[in-house]
Chains A and B, each alone.
Chain A
Amino acid sequence: MSVLTNIKRKMFSEQATPYVLLLPAIIMILIVVLFPLLFSLYTSFTPYKLTRPDTLWKFVGLRNYERIFTDWDFWVAFGRTVLFLAIVINLEFLFGLGIALLINRITWGQRTLRTIMMFPMMFSPILVGFQFKFIFNDNIGLMNNALQSLGITDQAIPWLVDGTLAMGAIAFAEIWMSTSIFAILLLAGLFAMPKDPLEAAQVDGCNAWQTFRHITLPYLMPFAYIAMTIRSLDVARAYDVVDTMTGGGPAGRTELLWTLIARTGYDSASMGKANAMAYVSILLSIAFTYFFYTKLVAARRYMGGAQ
């Protein structure tokens, strides 16, 4: 009896109140987030096939992970995803920064331009994939027809077959679709930027480049790192555009982690192995997120913001 009274007293004490109030939310998060994570982690230790539910109860230890660690194709896809992510994010940042700076200087029609800029984000990634698959088709595609009509080449350039060109075409589609995320966030940063430091720089005789390099850019970097964190998670999971344009091929030349994982998990129904791949690939997302947060904190510290 006294134990129960003790628990009751602790539960309703002032210190415990916040936790008690948060308890429903915590329980919901555990059910919605943690349980599926633990379940998928468990399945990565089984030969679980979607079409054979009984395989869920067969424990095979680290066999899926052993296979992955010795699977050269997986690590090539892993490395290609890192490279793709690095190139796409940096280019999106550069283009987004350019667009934001240009739009910031416009005094008439800015709202219309901001809306137009958002258009690519409104398309479904699958639609974007089909659109660029057609543009880069070597036989009836717009790109080769344009190049041949202009007399630049008389060859059918195999845009989606050559490894480098195909990755370039996919990167082009990805950048076309998502550069506006950087542009919007950086534009928000420019709008929120105080005018005093800029005026002080002008009084001190800084030229436009010096003002941009030492005042505008450092001020925008926290916004850029937030955009990079969001986009790094997106690009590390790139699937729709790649699957539509090349399906990861030919001969695995454009295989990224999630085209490989989706084919293993759904088309081949080997969900146990696919989940093991997914857990290894999560390391990539964690690494990039950690890197960008570190840079974000450093940028804010540089600007005298919160630690």
Chain B
Amino acid sequence: MKLLGKITTTLMAGATALSMAGGMAHAGEFDGYTLRVKLIGGAQYEPLYTRIPEWEEMTGAKVEILSRKNHFELDREIKQDIASGSINWCVGSNHTSFAPQYGSLYVDLNVIMDDEAINAISENVINASTVDGRLVQLARHSDVSNLYYIKSLYEDEKNKADFKAEYGYDLMPPETWAQVKDQAIFFADPPNFYGTQYVGKDEGISGRFYEMLIAEGGTFFDADGKAAFNSPEGVRALQWFVDLYEAKAVPAGVPNYLWDDTGLGFASGNVALNLDWGGWASYFNSDDSKIQGDVGLIRAPKGSSGKRTGWSGSHSFSITEACDNKQAAASFVSFLTNFDSQMIEARTGLLPTRPDAIEAIIEESKQAGDDWLVHVFETFGASMAEDAFAVPSTHLWIPISNELFPELQAAIVGEKNAQQALDDAAAAANQLIEDEG
């Protein structure tokens, strides 16, 4: 069985290598050229960059990294570059949520890159990477959230009996967000233990609200392009966050939480259920986690429309219109998103954007006997293929999010009711839309 798996992986890697050959640069093709790049920095992004010297050796080019910052800082720097007209670099890290803001800064990769490199990426991700019909980025890995839970809570006989008596149905890992609410309230014992948690500020809460809105059957914009999230579906979506906060089933500080807070909070062992990204999977089951060996994972639950939540984003690379050697840039982007590169990121727990890399990492984990990682990649792979959806493709997503999230917070902490908060946010969003003309 192991031998069969090894052969499959080898064949898959071989086939991919052959298919990539068309997109590879010839040896020494860019001799003496210096490619200037601005890359996202941070622990989970760095391992990929250890491959850059390989590309340099292969092509004869040098890579000069002008910036290596977190994405929010990089976003500010890129906006300043656009404002000052100083686009003197070729490749920049990008993200599907941020890309629509940058207008015509980046080229359409369909024009300058080989079809093989593009077709290797999953169709869902390519669609999310396309802005106004232009493929402005090639994704290196994707993010989508699924539901982690503490297994022992669901195996406890007393919990099972008490829950059944109180809610009238069996205690099982939740299939719907309504069940998540019931179970979170049931498990909560503040301040020692909480049912669940959520990020509560910036684009984090806007995104979480957005995916809940879609799962409830709502839309963010109506057919005329006006804000439509203050609909009954929107109110239901927001009320879910409000109810959990009022019931003290989430920590009181959640309106201030970002990704690190939810991840570290769950790993500290005092939260029962946690919707989070795939990148945390290895950490939750590591020596640093208090719930090591007791973590379960299921697909993100469904809203009342029957659709699962699946807010997704992808980290990517883009090539500037101002680039003086687009072929070198295309070769570099192609190299950093090829099979071998994606496997490097996948081994750290990040979700590849190439279906062949997902299959290969599952196979590799099976051979290594790592059942947890197999389950993680199968769950996240299925979620990416069937549930994932990006934020609305508009350059106003971030500005609207900046108007929306304080109103969501106002409802969560009880300053406004859900309808009032969403109406106020919709009015501000519509003003932004009108200003754009």
The chain A residues found within 8 Å of chain B, CB to CB, are 47, 50-53, 137-140, 144, 148, 154-161, 246-247, 249-253, 263-264, 266-271
- Which of B30-38, B115-123, B260-268 is found at the contact surface with chain A? B260-268
Partner of B252, one of A47, A158, A263, A268: A158
**B202 adjacent to A247 (CB under 8 Å):** yes
Partner of A250, one of B190, B268, B399, B413: B413
**A267 adjacent to B398 (CB under 8 Å):** yes
Give 20 A-B pairs besides A161-B256, A251-B409 with Cβ atoms closer than 8 angstroms. A50-B83, A53-B82, A53-B83, A137-B261, A139-B194, A139-B251, A139-B253, A140-B264, A140-B265, A148-B191, A155-B191, A156-B190, A247-B256, A249-B201, A250-B409, A251-B410, A252-B409, A266-B79, A267-B398, A269-B399
Partner of B415, one of A139, A251, A267: A251
In angstroms, how far is the closest chain B Cβ from the Cβ of A47?
7
**B103 adjacent to A52 (CB under 8 Å):** yes
B255 in the interface, Cβ–Cβ < 8 Å? yes
Q: Please name 11 pairs of A and B residues whose Cβ atoms are closer than 8 Å in the assembled complex, sorted by A.
A: A47-B435, A50-B83, A51-B79, A53-B82, A139-B251, A139-B270, A148-B191, A158-B252, A159-B253, A249-B256, A252-B410
Majority secondary structure of chain B interface residues (helix, strand, loop or mixed): helix
**B399 adjacent to A270 (CB under 8 Å):** yes
Interface size grouping (class) on chain B: 35 or more
Distance of A85 Cα from B80 Cα, bound (Å): 30
B23 in the interface, Cβ–Cβ < 8 Å? no
**B255 adjacent to A161 (CB under 8 Å):** yes
Given A140-B268, A156-B191, A251-B410, A50 and B80 touching (CB < 8 A)?
A: yes
B395 in the interface, Cβ–Cβ < 8 Å? yes
In angstroms, how far is the closest chain A Cβ from the Cβ of B97?
12
**A269 adjacent to B79 (CB under 8 Å):** yes
B412 in the interface, Cβ–Cβ < 8 Å? yes
Distance of A228 Cα from B228 Cα, bound (Å): 49
B101 in the interface, Cβ–Cβ < 8 Å? yes
Given A139-B194, A250-B201, A251-B413, A158 and B253 touching (CB < 8 A)?
A: yes
Distance of A51 Cα from B101 Cα, bound (Å): 7
The closest CB in chain B to the CB of A43 belongs to: B83
B74-124 at interface with A (beta carbon < 8 Å) = 76, 79-80, 82-83, 85, 101-103
B232 in the interface, Cβ–Cβ < 8 Å? no
B-side contacts of A270, CB under 8 Å: 399
The closest CB in chain B to the CB of A73 belongs to: B406
Distance of A246 Cα from B412 Cα, bound (Å): 16
Partner of A51, one of B85, B102, B201, B252: B102
B400-415 at interface with A (beta carbon < 8 Å) = 402, 405-407, 409-410, 412-413, 415
The closest CB in chain A to the CB of B105 belongs to: A51
B368-393 at interface with A (beta carbon < 8 Å) = none
The closest CB in chain A to the CB of B414 belongs to: A251
**B402 adjacent to A267 (CB under 8 Å):** yes
The closest CB in chain B to the CB of A133 belongs to: B256
Given A144-B191, A161-B413, A269-B79, A246 and B264 touching (CB < 8 A)?
A: no
**B255 adjacent to A249 (CB under 8 Å):** yes
B200 in the interface, Cβ–Cβ < 8 Å? yes
Partner of A266, one of B76, B194, B255: B76
In angstroms, how far is the closest chain B Cβ from the Cβ of A30?
20
The chain B residues found within 8 Å of chain A, CB to CB, are 72, 76, 79-80, 82-83, 85, 101-103, 190-191, 194, 200-202, 251-253, 255-256, 261, 264-265, 268, 270, 395, 398-399, 402, 405-407, 409-410, 412-413, 415, 435
A-side contacts of B201, CB under 8 Å: 247, 249-250
Distance of A264 Cα from B435 Cα, bound (Å): 15
**A251 adjacent to B255 (CB under 8 Å):** yes
Partner of A271, one of B83, B270, B412: B83
Distance of A139 Cα from B194 Cα, bound (Å): 9
B-side contacts of A269, CB under 8 Å: 79, 101, 398-399
Give me the 10 closest cross-chain CB pairs, A-B, nearest first: A250-B255, A156-B191, A158-B252, A138-B253, A251-B410, A250-B409, A268-B399, A50-B79, A251-B409, A139-B251
**B103 adjacent to A51 (CB under 8 Å):** yes
**A250 adjacent to B200 (CB under 8 Å):** yes
In angstroms, how far is the closest chain A Cβ from the Cβ of B272?
13
A-side contacts of B190, CB under 8 Å: 155-156
In angstroms, how far is the closest chain B Cβ from the Cβ of A301?
47
**B191 adjacent to A252 (CB under 8 Å):** no
The closest CB in chain A to the CB of B437 belongs to: A47
The closest CB in chain B to the CB of A163 belongs to: B413
In angstroms, how far is the closest chain A Cβ from the Cβ of B416?
8
A-side contacts of B405, CB under 8 Å: 249
The closest CB in chain A to the CB of B197 belongs to: A139
Partner of B395, one of A51, A138, A148: A51
**B83 adjacent to A138 (CB under 8 Å):** no
B-side contacts of A50, CB under 8 Å: 79-80, 82-83
B-side contacts of A157, CB under 8 Å: 252
In angstroms, how far is the closest chain B Cβ from the Cβ of A150?
14
B-side contacts of A264, CB under 8 Å: 402
The closest CB in chain B to the CB of A47 belongs to: B435
The closest CB in chain B to the CB of A141 belongs to: B253
B-side contacts of A160, CB under 8 Å: 253, 256
In angstroms, how far is the closest chain B Cβ from the Cβ of A260?
10
Distance of A268 Cα from B264 Cα, bound (Å): 29
